[in-house]
Amino acid sequence: MSGLARPVAGPIVRPPIAERLAGRRERRRTVDRAWRGLALGATIVAVVPLAAVLLFVAVKGAGALNPDLLTKPPKALGVGGGALNSILGSAQMVALGALLAVPAGILAGVYVAEFAGAQAARVVRFASDVMVGIPSILVGIFVYTILVLPFKQFNAFAGSVALAIIMVPVIARTTEEMLRLVGRELREGSLALGLPTWRTVVSVVIPTGLTGILSGVMLALARAAGETAPLLFTALGSRLVNVGDFGKPMDALPVFIYNGARQPIAALNEQAWGAALLLVLLVLGINVAVRARSWARRAG
């Protein structure tokens, strides 16, 4: 046998512990900076379009937002007048829609959060999610079929019902989520004092989650105020000022914007931009009011 010498493995040279830890920290910093940059880019992508839309509407509509637009109805023939009929119509139909939708939505949310079994809660929750995402034009066609065709008359009541159908699932889902955030110890404390379940819900749970519930209601109102398609199938619109007569056609700001924007007349296009700015300000005002109330409640 030949005496071949085997190579002797030398000691494994490892970098010092401090260097390894420094390398790990540097890699973590790099990954952290990359994800922070990605999150910032996504935020910019989300915010810039909104800011661009608001700025564009403000620039285009600022010149047309004047006292005449707010206080005068449109002229029967020709160009001129304002959007008083649309402002009053939107206020009336959204108010009636809220009167129909708010009790139904809140009670549905309370039922799912407090009383429904697991299977019933899943069914109601799934139905609400589907209704939130359904195109509003389908709601308009449905209400047109049941409240316009049988009476052979476009009417504001049908428009209010369409807006209420759009608002109910938003209110129901928000109410459910807000009530689920109420601590269990509050319920248990109320029940320990001998109060029945319904009284606990009315006196303890709902007042605790009231700020969130109101936020959901305002969100639903803001969405309903900007809907156009359901009103084209139901209330239709009218150049006349209609106050209180829900059996006849009634105009609304989204319908006024739609009709004015598609006309080949510059003055009507300008009025449509002014009405669009007014609608944006109304929705923004609703959201600011809700946020201010929430902040005041937290501060208190």
- Domain boundaries along the sequence of the chain: 67-299
Alpha-helical (H) ranges within the chain are 17-61, 67-71, 84-110, 118-133, 136-143, 156-180, 184-192, 197-200, 206-208, 210-225, 229-233, 253-261, 266-299
Architecture of domain 67-299: Orthogonal Bundle (1.10)
Q: How far apart are CA 70 and CA 84, in angstroms?
A: 6
- Choose among 75, 86, 244, 246: nearest CA to 151: 246
The whole-angstrom distance between residue 79's C-alpha and the CA centroid of its chain comes to 34
CA pair distance 105, 173, nearest whole angstrom? 8
Q: Percent of the chain scored above 70 by pLDDT?
A: 93
Average of per-residue pLDDT across 226-230: 94
- What is the pLDDT, as a whole number, of residue 26? 86
Which pLDDT tens digit goes with each residue over 132-144?
Answer: 989 999 999 999 9
User: How confident is the model at residue 11, as a pLDDT?
Assistant: 55
pLDDT range class, residue 1, cuts 50, 70, 90: very low
Q: Is pLDDT above 90 for 250?
A: yes
Question: Which amino acid belongs to residue 215?
Answer: S
Comparing CA positions, the residue from 178, 167, 166 lying closest to residue 110 is 178
Phi-psi region of 80 (alpha: psi -120 to 50; beta: other; left: phi over 0): left
Q: Residue 81 pLDDT > 70, yes or no?
A: yes
Average pLDDT, the chain: 89
pLDDT(24) > 70? yes
Q: Determine the pLDDT at residue 9.
A: 52
Task: Flag whether pLDDT at 205 surpasses 90.
Answer: yes
Cβ(206)–Cβ(180) below 8 Å? no
pLDDT of residue 228: 94
Q: What is the DSSP string of 218-266?
A: HHHHHHHHT--HHHHHTT---SS--SS-TTS----HHHHHHHHHTSS-H
Residue % of the chain over a pLDDT of 90: 66
Express each pLDDT in 155-204 by its tens digit: 999 999 999 999 999 999 999 999 999 988 988 898 888 889 899 999 99
